[in-house]
Structure 1
């Protein structure tokens, strides 16, 4: 009986020793991680600056708001433009929308059916729904994008004096740019080997112009270039990914849930795109304000005593 008691009494001792070892290892790992973090912050301060700026920008919240405004604004604007544009422009817009989202199958057929409607049908739809939505929310997406750029560059709210025409000009510019998306992505008929570089260059120019326009020339052209290049790279990569993901997701959603399912898929993809935009502009602003690039680009340095943007 005595050996059994010793064996029984030995079990809690081994369990306690294992728990002690795990706690010790956990504490050692935590200390090592903090030491590694401090070392990384010392050697690569830009990582810390990027993390702090992304927290202040509130990337996911800003991107979600921007995606919602894009969805609410883009749909009525597309109907308005389609109802007023000539047939050739309407067909080109439909082709660009299919190219941007990589649509095929049932989703592509639905888009084509909308743009194949007669002028009277489109004008009737716009007069009931689209016109009211355009009047109420035409500049909402411009204001959301302006707030994102302002937060990325840590420009206080009182520091921005932007004219309303800039919001309208940005919307008009993007409508025009949407029309030419399909020929740019196809390399004007040459193929993807030319279309992908053209798409990157096209996106870089667009996002360079977007920041300059919506910031009201508070930041010079050159410091905006890193953010434009990063955003263009992210958007170009996602445009290639969309061809593999969006057709399957949209067709499956249409088959299982109808039009409501396609709305959720489209909004989810818009959130992904807006997260890429928010990260690209924010990281680009931080890199442009680092001493190495700031001296060469003439970037405005962040003022630590300035009030934070809302």
Structure 2
């Protein structure tokens, strides 16, 4: 009884904070983000190298430059990445093969499914009774690969500098995560309610992209010096988890804010389950 009274008092005094906390618990933020990061590392990263093996040389070099920009790679880590992307097309294609490439592509849809589950949990969409077309997983993966190629030019402001690159990155990331939610939710939520989550996620990813340039080179150089290549794997995986936590928090908090009365009336947001339960 005392716990319920405290909960009701908190809901009355700090409704938005309470609703955010409840939704983050229901989404299981850290578990969802860790699974998403693991799927990215195990399936999406191999897909990048498979795509690079069949891509023209300029596209391959642009992908390498974008990966360096995303993770802030420099020094020995950057040299290792360049050696991987510098392998000849025949070497990589012979190592992977057609069947292997198809398996890598199908495995990469695990990232799409993990991201879709996160979006559905954030918006309290039930698992049962809702079927979303499988082609959306493949489209999201294809879009993700295309967007990766242009990361480096956007971050550098197309050569102008960070003063233009940072705002462009924020705009770019916002549009990407706005589209991601709309695509993977299968139009179950209209465009406008998805905007707060896109803005929050875009802002978080932009801030982390700037932070990566300061943190990752030092962390990777230290890990390579002490533990070799295995150390760099742990550093990159840890950074992927940080990125995925930012995505999970941004999408979830954005969903809650969009369903609060002040914004819900303006955005046409779906009614949260707590309101539906009270009406029922």
- TM-score category of the 2 structures, normalised to the smaller one: over 0.9
Question: Residue 206 of structure 1 is aligned with which of 176, 180, 184?
Answer: 176
Which residue is 2:127 aligned to? 157
2:227 corresponding residue in structure 1? 257
Query: Counterparts of 2:55 and 2:271 in 1: how far apart (Å)?
Result: 45
Matches within 5 A, 1:33-52: 41-52=11-22
1:193 aligns with 2:175: no
| 1:233 lines up with 2:203 in the alignment | yes
Distance across 2 between alignment mates of 1:278 and 1:244: 23
For residues 248 and 81 of structure 2, the distance between their equivalents in structure 1, rounded to whole angstroms, comes to 28
More moved, 74-83 vs 122-131:
122-131
- Where 2:182 maps in the other structure, the secondary structure is helix
2 CA distance for matches of 1:279 and 1:247? 26
Q: Is the aligned partner of 1:92 residue 2:30?
A: no
Corresponding residue for residue 126 of structure 1 = 96
Unpaired runs of at least 5, structure 2: none
Cα distance per residue 1:185-231 (max 9 Å; x no partner):
00001000000000000000000000000000000000000000000
SS in 1 for 2:186: coil
Unaligned segments of structure 1, at least 5 residues = 1-30
Q: Is the 8 A contact 2:112 2:141 kept in 1?
A: yes
> Which is worse superposed, 110-119 or 125-134?
125-134
- Counterpart of 2:139 (choices 147, 166, 169) is 169
Kindly indicate whether residue 216 of structure 2 is the aligned counterpart of residue 218 of structure 1. no
Residues 97, 120 of structure 1: CA spacing in aligned structure 2 closer, same or farther, 3 A cutoff? same
Change in CA separation of 1:222 and 1:143 when aligned onto 2, cut-off 3 Å: same
Deviates more, 1:112-121 or 1:268-277: 112-121
Q: Secondary structure at the match of 2:158?
A: coil
Write the distance in 2 (CA, Å) between the matches of 1:36 and 1:137.
Answer: 46
Match of 1:115 among 63, 71, 85: 85
Q: Paired residue for 2:111?
A: 141
Correspondence for 2:153: 183
Question: Does 2:272 match 1:302?
Answer: yes
Stretches of 4+ moved more than 6 A in 1? Answer: 34-38
Return 229-238 or 39-48, whichever deviates more.
39-48
CA contact 1:96–1:180 (8 Å) conserved in 2: yes
Residue 261 of structure 2 corresponds to residue 291 of structure 1: yes
Q: CA deviation at 1:280?
A: 0.3
CA displacement at 1:305 relative to structure 2: 8.3
CA shift in 2, pair 1:160/1:37, >3 Å: closer
Q: Secondary structure at the match of 1:158?
A: coil
Mapped partners of 1:210, 1:177: distance in 2: 12
The root-mean-square deviation of aligned C-alpha atoms, in Å, is 2.2
> TM-score, length-normalised on structure 2?
0.93
Cα-to-partner distance string for 1:166-191 (whole Å, 9 max, x where unaligned): 00000000000000000000000100
Where in structure 2 are the equivalents of 1:77-88 lying within 5 Å? 77-88=47-58
